[in-house]
């Protein structure tokens, strides 16, 4: 499968998706006006990936900011991972947050309560 | 028209202005405003957590304007109304920041907006969290890309009630002013 390597901008995150290693990184800011457009290739890729996934899928989410429009798209991404998990694949979401950023921790916990995939909350210490 | 807008602006304008804008709300304006605010915040002595909250809420406020300001106002009365016209003011109060936005809306949409904000304002912190999760998980995207979460998120992150006011402009249109306050206790560190 094709590697995805999207470089970040002030409004969109850096995204790398590697089907072979099963590692997916989402890092930076996600505050575009039109998030559906931005996230569509990512959701599509995951759908394809789910057919022949790696033995373990590790998703690292390290966002500094995200807007509510992105929050729906991120949920769509997680829902694809949920399907993967449901099909007895090993999946984990590592949710990173800065130590003083309670809102980001809470956002991760919101997702954790909706999505049936193991989450690991990881505090970034400077 | 401009006298009317001046009055709206005066009502919105409180505290020490950090950024104020009156005009077309486009993606570029939002991008530029955000980077300008980020730069200005570097020199303001408040906790990082507060700056993050403020930035987050500012993004929602501006994008709310961007998505909802485009009500057709083809009444031919003024140039001000032709495109995505909006006003926003970010200011610093003694121990808080204040974000006030304004845009024209059609009279018919007022009840829906009022109902939504009143509902948000009636909820406790815990209820707001549940409401956010419910909308996140159940509501479809609108075609404009808004998830219906913006206002809930602003109330949730700020921890304060949303303040709103409608100024009657004509029989069909009103100017909708939304204000949110972000507490910023003096930096004790």
**pLDDT tens figures, B3-56:** 888 888 888 888 899 999 999 899 899 999 999 999 999 988 889 999 999 999
Supply the CATH number for residue A90's domain. Answer: 3.30.750.24
Candidates A37, A43, A67, partner chain B, best to mutate (most B CBs within 10 A): A67
A27 vs B: CB within 8 A? no
User: Is B112 exposed, middle or buried (CB count within 10 Å of its CB: 0-12, 13-18, 19+)?
Assistant: exposed
Q: What is the pLDDT of residue A116?
A: 96
A98, A104, A110, A115 alpha-carbon torsion, rounded to 10°: -60
Q: What is the pLDDT of residue B189?
A: 46
Band of residue B82 on the pLDDT scale cut at 50, 70, 90: low
Cross-chain CB nearest to B63 (options A36, A67, A102): A67
Query: What ranges do the domains of chain B cover?
Result: 2-106+163-183
What does the pLDDT look like over B115-137, one tens digit per residue?
Answer: 999 999 999 999 999 999 999 99
Cα separation, B184 vs B45, in Å, equals 10
Average pLDDT of chain B, as a whole number: 87
From residue B24, give the alpha-carbon distance in Å to each of A10, B56, B85: 21, 21, 5
Q: What is the pLDDT of residue B139?
A: 76
CB atoms within 10 A of CB B157: 21
User: Is A126 exposed, middle or buried (CB count within 10 Å of its CB: 0-12, 13-18, 19+)?
Assistant: exposed
Nearest by Cα to B125 from A90, A106, A114: A106
Mean pLDDT of B68-78: 56
What does the pLDDT look like over A23-67, one tens digit per residue?
Answer: 999 999 999 988 999 999 999 999 999 999 999 999 999 999 999
Mean pLDDT of B148-176: 94
A7 vs B: CB within 8 A? no
Q: What is the pLDDT of residue B84?
A: 81
Would the CB atoms of B149 and A101 count as touching at under 8 Å?
Answer: no
More confident residue, A117 or B186: A117
Nearest by Cα to A69 from B181, B58, B136: B136
What does the pLDDT look like over A78-98, one tens digit per residue?
Answer: 999 999 999 999 999 999 999
Band of residue B140 on the pLDDT scale cut at 50, 70, 90: confident
Q: What is the pLDDT of residue B11?
A: 85
Cross-chain CB nearest to B157 (options A69, A71, A103): A103
Mean pLDDT of B139-147: 62
- Chain centroid to CA B153: how far? 11
**Total tally of structural domains belonging to chain A:** 1
Mean pLDDT of B110-115: 93
Contact in structure between B162 and B151 (CB atoms under 8 Å): yes
Searching chain B, which residue's CA lies closest to the CA of residue A9?
A: B31
List, in order, residues 6 or more apart from B81 with CB less than 8 Å away: B1, B73, B75, B104, B173
- Chain centroid to CA B117: how far? 12
Residue B58 has pLDDT above 60, yes or no: yes
Q: What is the pLDDT of residue A105?
A: 96
Q: What is the pLDDT of residue B188?
A: 54
Cα separation, B159 vs B142, in Å, equals 26
Domain limits for position A40: 4-124
Yes or no: domain B2-106+163-183 corresponds to CATH 3.30.565:
yes
């Amino acid at each position: 499968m094709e590697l995805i390597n999207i470089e970040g901008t002030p409004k969109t995150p850096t995204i790398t998706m590697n089907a072979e290693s099963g590692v997916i990184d989402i890092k930076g800011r996600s505050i575009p006006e039109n998030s559906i457009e931005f996230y569509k290739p990512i959701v599509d890729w995951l759908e394809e990936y789910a057919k022949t996934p790696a033995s373990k899928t590790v998703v690292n989410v390290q966002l500094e900011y995200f807007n509510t429009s992105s929050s729906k798209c991120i949920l769509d991404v997680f829902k694809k991972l949920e399907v993967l998990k449901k099909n007895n694949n090993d999946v984990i979401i590592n949710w990173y947050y800065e130590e003083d950023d309670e809102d980001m921790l809470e956002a991760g916990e919101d997702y954790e309560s909706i999505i049936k995939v193991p989450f690991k909350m990881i505090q970034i210490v400077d | 028209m401009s006298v009317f807008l001046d009055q709206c602006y005066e009502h919105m304008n409180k505290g020490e202005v950090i950024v104020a804008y009156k005009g077309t709300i486009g993606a570029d304006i939002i991008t530029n405003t955000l980077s300008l605010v980020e730069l200005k915040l570097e020199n303001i002595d408040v906790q990082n957590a507060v700056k993050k909250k403020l930035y987050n809420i500012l993004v929602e406020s501006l994008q709310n304007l961007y998505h909802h300001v485009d009500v057709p106002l083809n009444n031919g009365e003024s140039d001000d109304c032709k495109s995505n016209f909006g006003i926003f003011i970010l200011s610093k109060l003694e121990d808080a920041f204040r974000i006030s936005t304004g845009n024209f809306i059609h009279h018919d949409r007022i009840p829906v907006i009022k109902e939504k904000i009143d509902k948000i304002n009636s909820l406790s912190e815990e209820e707001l969290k549940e409401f956010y999760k419910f909308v996140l998980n159940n509501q479809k995207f609108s075609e404009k890309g808004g998830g219906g979460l913006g206002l809930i998120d602003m109330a949730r992150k700020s921890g304060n009630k949303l303040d709103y006011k409608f100024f009657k402009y004509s029989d069909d249109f009103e100017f909708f002013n939304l204000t949110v306050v972000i507490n910023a206790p003096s930096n004790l560190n």
